[in-house]
Structure 1
Amino acid sequence: MRIALGVEYAGDAFQGWQSQSHGQTVQDHLEAALSGMAGHPVRLHCAGRTDAGVHATAQVVHFDTQSVRSLHGWVRGTNARMRAPVAVRWAVEVGDDFHARFCAVSRRYRYILYNSAVRPALLAGRVGWFHPPLDEAAMDEAARSILGWQDFSAFRAAGCQAKSPIKLMHEAQVRRDGDYIVFDFWANAFLHHMVRNLIGSLVYVGKGCYPPEWMSEVLHSRDRSRAAMTFTPDGLYLAGVEYPSHWPLPDEGRIIALPRIPFV
């Protein structure tokens, strides 16, 4: 039996998604809870591995088991076994040909940046922070240059293991909501650190270091050294994973699910 789960977590409490020897990752905590429920070791596969400090409102995972539990039982029982800030939102039985990563057709990320002279306290670790004023209109204009099929080598981490840097960007949008600037990206797939590298370069535009058209120049240079440094992970959320409609997943498993602004 194969079970798909919708999962949310606060990434600042973990050392990333992928299991490590120290056991302080999202995968480690979730697998331990699920293994206790199943009565056998459980191995999870996720839609997209997130780095340390990166959050998720709509991560999708799957695992195989011979244990018989109600779908409601998998949700409540697994959550009862975890004290860390990670929660299973839903469980669905899927066919053996479903794979959380390889069946996904697109993913969405949102970055929330607190643009204020004073750093956040209650939201520390949950939003990024930049104190000089930023021009969100200029950043939004710059973001339009990365739409469509593009080679994102200029925004790719050196250790990225993706086979190709060419991705299809469906949406790249920047807007302001009071002191918060919200960056939304929707693409068929993302490279390692791609969103955080895009944010860093857009912030360069927003603070007036470069005009909006500079973003296109960096993109087409395919040169990582031309782009800005990797931005902090604090405000980054995996916010949606889309699958073909024949999979019986709840809407939040395949359509965007985003944190509200502000959180409090």
Structure 2
Amino acid sequence: MSPQLRECDVVRVRLDLAYDGREFSGWARQRVRRTVQEEIEEALRVVMRREETPELTVAGRTDAGVHARGQVAHVDLPDDVWAEHADHLLRRLAGRLPMDVRVFRVSEAPAHFDARFSAIWRRYAYRVTDHPGGVDPLQRGHVLWHNWPLDLDAMNEAAGNLLGEHDFAAYCKKREGATTIRTLQRLEWVRRADGVLEATVKADAFCHNMVRALVGAMLFVGDGHRPPEWPAKVLAAGVRDSAVHVVRPHGLTLEEVGYPADDELEARNLASRNKRSLMVGPGGAGGAAGCC
């Protein structure tokens, strides 16, 4: 929490949360559609008996249909409000929130913590099955069915060629004034015991549609339609290839957000803001809006 916040008698509160994205039109508030942000902000207003609605800042604004298991947000509350509600806020939120969104932890944040700008990486998982009979009905809202056999080794070979810092313009939906340069730290596939293929995708940040476009390219490799070197060639070309399909959102889950040690938060915030200062336009905040 910054000294400015303390001077105003405001406490920064961290919320760790999860949601099933199927019935949400993404994280960010919209006028007529149901969103995760609106549900949580309204629940906070009601349980704390506030006239004004608290405003959340989130680590990554997930798209419609995308799930989260390890989402992080923060909210600034007056000191006296936090003191009154801190001990009971978690349980009261559980009683007020709908069953498809849960807050699992509420805590006073360390100095300089910012859910968005302090994050040093985000980790997503994408799940797909190539079983000829389709998806297990109990997993249908979280696993994509691909109607071709998939070669795990070919997909991992393709994934390895995409790691590092690159301009991912070929795999992102462009936004005016927003950079598409990202550092992809991890991209690998495993086949679970139940036959589901699970991709782990970790980066400093993501641009719009990036994860789902990368997955679409690797599925095209896995089913034999393209060679393993093809996704890297698309990346190097720097333009969208019509063969790269953005796969459906329901297979994607935000699993975890990483933050530095408490004494490194201030420096991280400054570095993030400086890096993103050239981004002007909606969603131009390095993966924090309209992501994946």
Structure 1 length as normaliser, TM-score?
A: 0.89
Deviations 1:55-105 (A, max 9, x none): 000000001112124545221111210124000011110256321111111
Higher helix share: 2
Specify which of 39, 62, 73 is matched with residue 50 of structure 1: 62
Consecutive unaligned residues in structure 2, runs of 5 or more: 1-10, 264-292
Which secondary structure state, in structure 1, belongs to the residue aligned with residue 260 of structure 2? coil
* Conservation of the 8 A alpha-carbon contact between 2:188 and 2:199: yes
Distance 2:161 2:152 in 1: 15
Which residue of structure 2 aligns with residue 78 of structure 1?
A: 93
Aligned counterpart, 2:28: 18
CA offset digits 1:12-51 (Å, max 9, x no partner): 1211111111251111111110111222211111000001
Answering whether residue 71 of structure 2 is matched by residue 59 of structure 1, we say yes
Structure 2 counterpart of 1:128:
144
1:117 Cα offset (Å): 1.5
Once the two structures are superposed, residues 203-260 of structure 1 have per-residue CA deviations (whole angstroms, 9 ceiling, x without a partner) of 000000111011110110111125511100111001110111217xxxxxxxxxxxxx
Residue 112 of structure 1 corresponds to which residue in structure 2? 127
Are the equivalent residues in 2 in contact too, given 1:155–1:224 (CA < 8 A)?
Answer: yes
Cα pair 2:234 2:241 within 8 Å, conserved: no
Contact 1:13 1:84 in 2 (8 A): no
Whether the 8 Å contact between 2:110 and 2:262 is mirrored in structure 1 is no
Q: Find the partner of 1:4 among 9, 14, 29.
A: 14
SS in 2 for 1:224: coil
Larger radius of gyration: 2
2:166 is equivalent to residue 150 of structure 1: yes
Q: Residues 230 and 76 of structure 1: is their aligned pair in 2 closer, same or farther, counting only changes over 3 Å? A: same
Give, as a single letter, the amino acid of the residue that structure 2 aligns with 1:238.
L
Within 5 Å, give how 1:197-236 maps onto structure 2.
197-225=213-241, 227-236=243-252
Aligned to 1:97: 112
Counterpart position of 1:88: 103
2:187 equivalent in structure 1: 172
Cα pair 1:162 1:191 within 8 Å, conserved: no
Whole-Å separation in 1 of the counterparts to 2:255 and 2:196: 17
Change in Cα spacing, 1:161 to 1:79, as seen in structure 2 (3 Å) is: farther
What are structure 1's unaligned runs of at least 5 residues?
248-264
**Identity of aligned pairs, percent?**
36
**TM-score, normalised relative to structure 2:** 0.80
Determine the C-alpha separation between the residues in 2 that align with 1:162 and 1:72.
43
